[in-house]
A and B are shown apart, each in its own frame.
With several copies, the nearest count.
Chain A
Amino acid sequence: MRPLAALIGEIGDGALLAVPPDYSGVAMAATRALIRRGVRGLRLLAVPQSGLQTDLLIGAGCVAAVESAAVSLGDLGPAPRFTAAVLARRIAMTDSTCPAIHAALQATEKGVPFFPLRGLIGSDVLRFRPDWRVIDNPFAGGDPIVLLPAIAPEVALFHAPFADRAGNVWIGRRRELVSMAHAADKTLVTVEEVVDGNLMDDQTLAAGVLPALYVAGVAQAPKGAWPLGLAGRYPPDRAHLARYAELAKSEAGFARYLAEHADAAQAAE
């Protein structure tokens, strides 16, 4: 176990940082700590989409680039700081589509330079991705198919219900976190709690474990996904999120939100 500040110390300026969607265990306490530290130039990879976390980091000036299938606050509407930054061309936005991000991470997981994927052909998503290729299926002919280059995040960061002291992290059904960790050079995890014993000793728990082998560091952060939810633990704080959605519509409102919730004074986290 490490203190949160030490954990996020592994995320340097300019890092290619993979993050999960709002429903999958977002390390929000760690995100606020990153903002307080003043991280700059992050290249965010949303796996495969993102919401509050990306909007907050963009608004706080921490982000140089985003690759994602979508950024939104869900039924609370658009992600305001993301939208403003993209329209002003202040961040480099790489539009993707969910399965392409999953597949590109699986390519790194498997140690291959590319993955094939159906769909995509004829879309402008493909047209604006000079890094993607269309080849003719060598097994058929007359069958165009897209090849996606592997994406290798430097860091994957997420929040999970619990871990043991050996660094095994229980992620349950949230297996997008597994591929993300397999593909990332370093995986950093915050958890609600640290449990005694070794999670691998219980076959029922083990089925939902990301093994320590892939985990570079774990920090305890109770309610670490707040104001987002953590499945099975707590729901999203909808009142708070609605207030964020409202405040973040303006730069001044966002600054006020940031001062309240991610200020350096809030060093308790």
Chain B
Amino acid sequence: MSEPGWSKAELLVAVLARMLDGLGHVAVGAASPIPGAAAFLAQARAARAMRVTVLGSESHNDFTDGGRELFDCAAQGRIDAFFLGGGQIDGQANLNLVGCGDYPDLTVRFPGSYGSAYLYFLIPRVILFREEHSARVLVPKVDFISAPGVSPPEVYRPGGPHALVTSKAVFAFERERGGFRLASVHPGIGVDEVTAQTGFAFERPAQVPTTPAPEAETLALIRGPVGAALAEVYPRFAATLRRHGEAS
């Protein structure tokens, strides 16, 4: 198989950015270079001004009201999209950022829930992003629910999961049904491989599309202005993108 003209990271950036096009304000966590790049990409090609807030950044973060402002801002409905990950993610889009085992008797400890138990409820479009696509991460049922994927109708919840993007595939989350549907598999990945590596059940169309490869203009943006914007926040990742750009 010939080398594609793009890296896996660039593919993922392009996939995530498509989910952000047209939004007004996208926020990204401090340690999220691929989502960060996707936000800058969507911003670079946005028809109307798009705001990108990168937590922990000095130059891409205009908050001036302390650590609570992100959460207050989300509650005010001023953030349209955010990214969350998880040590475990299950088929109901429940997220586990705390650990494996019978809490509090854990066998594996993750850092903790951060703001997930809140932001997942309040931000309309939460995109789950986890590069590792394995039955270890994508489990039938998480051991600890840092944030639930769905809520009963009486629970105030303007937000929730929109999609799950991994290194192998894209799943859309169907809120009504409360489950994932395989939306596409990345170039070179088979549906069987995805099924085998996914610990939870999911719907799939009769024909599973292939995730579209990044277009030339998209790659040019990623390797140009997006990389430059990233450099302050994610210097190591930005350097990787630039190296790839120079090599190609």
Contact = CB atoms under 8 A, between A and B. Distances in A.
Q: Do A and B come from one complex?
A: yes
A118 B118 contact: yes
30 contacts: A48-B115, A69-B112, A70-B113, A74-B30, A86-B99, A86-B109, A97-B114, A97-B117, A98-B71, A99-B68, A110-B71, A111-B122, A118-B75, A119-B121, A120-B117, A121-B121, A121-B151, A121-B155, A124-B144, A125-B147, A126-B117, A142-B154, A143-B154, A178-B64, A179-B66, A182-B65, A200-B59, A203-B58, A209-B62, A211-B62
Interface residues on B, range: 35 or more
Nearest to B118: A119
A207 B109 contact: no
B67 A24 contact: yes
Interface of B: 25, 30-31, 51, 56, 58-59, 62-78, 97-99, 103-122, 144-148, 151-152, 154-156
A235 B117 CA distance: 30
A110 B64 contact: no
Given A70-B97, A120-B117, A78 B156 contact: no
Nearest to B153: A142
A214 B25 CA distance: 12
Q: Which of B25, B108, B145, B152 has its CB near the most chain A CB atoms (within 10 A)?
A: B145
Contacts of A208: 64
Contact of A176 (B30, B66, B120): B66
Nearest to A212: B62
Contact of A178 (B62, B66, B77, B98): B66
Interface residues of A, number: 75
Contact of A98 (B30, B67, B152): B67
Given A48-B67, A95-B98, A121-B151, A213 B73 contact: yes
B146 A124 contact: yes
